[in-house]
């Protein structure tokens, strides 16, 4: 990794000119420890002056205070997070005890000695100046990288371009989770992440912007970096970085944080765009169903490229609301696959869809119902007849709403208005007594008879359904023909010999259907 962005370690210190006379006497395995600052310390109040990552320079005055138990001094440095201890041997400390060396080796804590007098001020000036310049260079580098991220997200498939750039700098496999969608880079690595689903869920729970090592097996070390994608206190997604053997650094965390900020801003902008589009769709649908004028230019803008001046449409009414944005996107994608382009009004108590078809080919509107049912919506679905004039939207709204209401009363009804012809008659009058009188005039005697012998009405319905075929009726009712003949005689005694004549049969069938609907409701 470039020296510009790599953290300074104890091993790097030993390579500096100011450490040319230094000797590492213990803690060789801890040379990877990161150094954040160089600090001269001759006091025993260690915790007051150390924040973690310091290289401690001393002539041994502090250590001399612990001459009866020098290990305690080293232990306090370790607990405070010091990177290493450098001791100038001389009047205060002439040699390092074997016990202290052994303890430093056990803890992998670098112990460095200067065998002759050195100017600590030169060391601090050298190392701290280097750290300051490195920090300035890192700020310049991260600013440039932030600019690159912002430029990348503007391209087509901008999110993938940001992931690609982050991958090139971190050499990590990257998974980007946003809502119910996932992107990865390299793209083929998504299969690998699919197998990591359980650990990804655990990592999300452990916290954000943390470097976590997960030992999958004894041969490999796998490191993870988790970064939330947040804006205005709202977490919109997560970035997961996975790398083998090489642990993530503070620079990796900084890069990932900047990438997360760019992705969060992009997501938020998309979210605002979708919300504004939904608001416009809702407003134009509300205007149309309440017979207020609507501009076709607005419709053209909302629907986009598929728009044509010649179209047909249906209005779909679902009497349940507050559908999630993910469900709406799924629904919209399903409609588009059928060549149908919807506008949506998603209210707390109902969902209205104005679905446009710009192609003269007959569409599979039944597939529309199947797409709606896949969302497991709680309400009933009503669909208006096909129309071509926007001025008729209020009528389409009334049709679709009426069907949804009827389906609550009789669920087996079709969702399509035009397929419920008989029940449209009931919209001519809301007076139940009118329909009860009509039912009584047509099949009243049979209903009264059916209270004692309930098989007659079901027999008549089956007989009419099978166009007067005695064989098919008997098979449908699972009875022998002789039983059917006997029931038909009793039906004739109630309705008269001519009940199969067209002028009698049609009102009888209508009466049966309306009777069933009123009984169900």
Facing residues of 87 across strands?
Answer: 58, 113
Spatial neighbors of 99 by CB under 8 A, at least 6 apart, are 70, 71
Given a cut of 50, is residue 3 above it in pLDDT?
no
> Which among 101, 91, 43 has a CA at the least distance from the CA of 70?
101
Asked if the model's pLDDT at residue 67 lies above 80, the reply is no
Is the pLDDT score of 218 beyond 80? no
Q: Are 352 and 397 in contact (CB under 8 A)?
A: yes
Cβ atoms of 250 and 6 closer than 8 Å: no
pLDDT of residue 475: 92
Distance from C-alpha of 287 to C-alpha of 291, rounded to nearest angstrom? 6
- What does the block give as tokens for 414? 């079709």
- When pLDDT is cut at 50, 70 and 90, the band that residue 109 belongs to is very high
Residues near 353 by Cβ (< 8 Å), separated by ≥ 6?
Answer: 315, 316, 318, 331, 342, 343, 344, 345
Contact call for residues 53 and 71 (beta carbons, < 8 A) = no
Kindly state the percentage of the chain with pLDDT values over 70. 93
Burial annotation 184-199 (CB, 10 A radius, 16+ → b, else e): bbeeebeeebeebeeb
Instruction: Output b/e per residue, 382-411; b: 16+ Cβ within 10 A.
Output: bbbeebeebebbebbbbbbbbbbebbeebe
Can you give the pTM of this predicted structure? Answer: 0.62
Give CA–CA dist 211/208, Å, rounded. 9
pLDDT band at residue 162 under the 50/70/90 scheme: very high
- With b meaning 16 or more CB within 10 Å and e meaning fewer, what string describes 222-249? bbbbbbbbbbeeeebbbbbbbbeeeebb
Helix or strand or coil: residue 19? Answer: helix
% residues pLDDT > 90 (the chain): 26
Alpha helices in 346-431 (DSSP H): 365-374, 393-409, 421-424
Residue 1: the pLDDT is 41
Average pLDDT over residues 204-210: 62
Count Cβ atoms below 10 Å from residue 327 Cβ, excluding itself: 17
Residue 5 pLDDT exceeds 70: no
Is residue 438 very low, low, confident or very high in pLDDT (cuts 50, 70, 90)?
confident
Question: Greatest CA span in the chain, whole angstroms?
Answer: 132
**Confidence check: pLDDT of 324 > 70:** yes
- Per the prediction, the chain carries an average pLDDT of 84
C-alpha count within 13 angstroms, C-beta hemisphere, residue 179: 14
Within 10 angstroms of residue 280's Cβ, the number of other Cβ atoms is 15
CA distance 374 to 126: 68
């Amino acid at each position: 990794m470039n020296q510009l962005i790599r953290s300074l370690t104890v091993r790097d210190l030993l390579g500096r000119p100011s450490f040319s006379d230094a000797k590492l006497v213990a803690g060789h395995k801890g040379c990877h420890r990161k150094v954040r600052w160089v600090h001269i310390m001759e006091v025993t109040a260690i915790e007051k002056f150390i924040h973690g990552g310091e290289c401690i320079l001393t002539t041994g005055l502090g250590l001399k205070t612990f001459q009866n138990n020098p290990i305690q001094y080293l232990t306090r440095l370790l607990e405070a997070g010091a990177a290493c201890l450098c001791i100038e041997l001389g009047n205060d400390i002439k040699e390092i005890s074997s016990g202290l060396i052994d303890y430093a080796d056990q803890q992998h804590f670098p112990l460095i000695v200067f065998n002759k007098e050195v100017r600590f001020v030169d060391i601090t000036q050298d190392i701290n100046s280097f750290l300051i310049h490195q920090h300035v260079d890192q700020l310049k580098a991260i600013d440039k990288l932030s600019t690159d991220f912002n430029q990348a997200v503007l391209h087509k498939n901008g999110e993938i371009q940001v992931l690609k750039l982050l991958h090139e700098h971190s050499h990590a496999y990257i998974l980007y989770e946003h809502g119910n969608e996932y992107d990865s880079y390299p793209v083929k690595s998504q299969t690998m992440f699919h197998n990591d689903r359980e650990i990804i869920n655990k990592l999300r729970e452990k916290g954000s912007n943390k470097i976590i090592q997960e030992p999958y097996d004894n041969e490999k070390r796998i490191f993870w970096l988790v970064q939330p994608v947040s804006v205005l206190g709202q977490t919109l997604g997560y970035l997961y970085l996975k790398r083998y053997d090489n642990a993530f650094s503070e620079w990796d965390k900084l890069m990932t944080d900047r990438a997360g900020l760019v992705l969060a801003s992009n997501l938020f902008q998309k979210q605002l765009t979708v919300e504004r589009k939904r608001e416009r769709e809702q407003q134009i649908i509300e205007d149309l169903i309440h017979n207020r004028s609507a501009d076709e230019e607005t419709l053209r803008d909302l629907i986009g490229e598929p728009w044509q001046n010649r179209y047909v449409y249906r209005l779909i009414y679902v009497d349940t609301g507050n559908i999630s944005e993910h469900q709406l996107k799924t629904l919209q994608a399903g409609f588009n696959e059928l060549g149908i382009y919807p506008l949506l009004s998603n209210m707390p108590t109902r969902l209205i869809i104005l679905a446009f078809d710009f192609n003269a080919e007959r569409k599979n509107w039944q597939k529309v119902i199947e797409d709606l049912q896949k969302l497991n919506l709680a309400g009933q679905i009503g669909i208006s007849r096909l129309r071509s004039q926007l001025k008729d939207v209020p009528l389409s709204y009334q049709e679709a709403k009426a069907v949804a209401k009827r389906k609550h009363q009789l669920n087996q009804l079709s969702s399509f208005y035009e397929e419920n012809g008989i029940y449209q008659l009931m919209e001519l009058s809301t007076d139940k007594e009118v329909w009860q009188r009509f039912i009584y005039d047509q099949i009243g005697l049979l209903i009264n008879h059916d209270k004692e012998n309930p098989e007659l009405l079901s027999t008549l319905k089956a007989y009419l359904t099978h166009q007067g075929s005695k064989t098919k009726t008997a098979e449908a009712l699972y009875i022998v023909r002789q039983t059917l003949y006997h029931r038909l005689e009793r039906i004739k005694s109630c309705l008269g010999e001519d009940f199969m004549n067209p002028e009698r049969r049609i009102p009888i069938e209508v009466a049966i259907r309306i009777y069933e609907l009123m009984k169900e409701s």
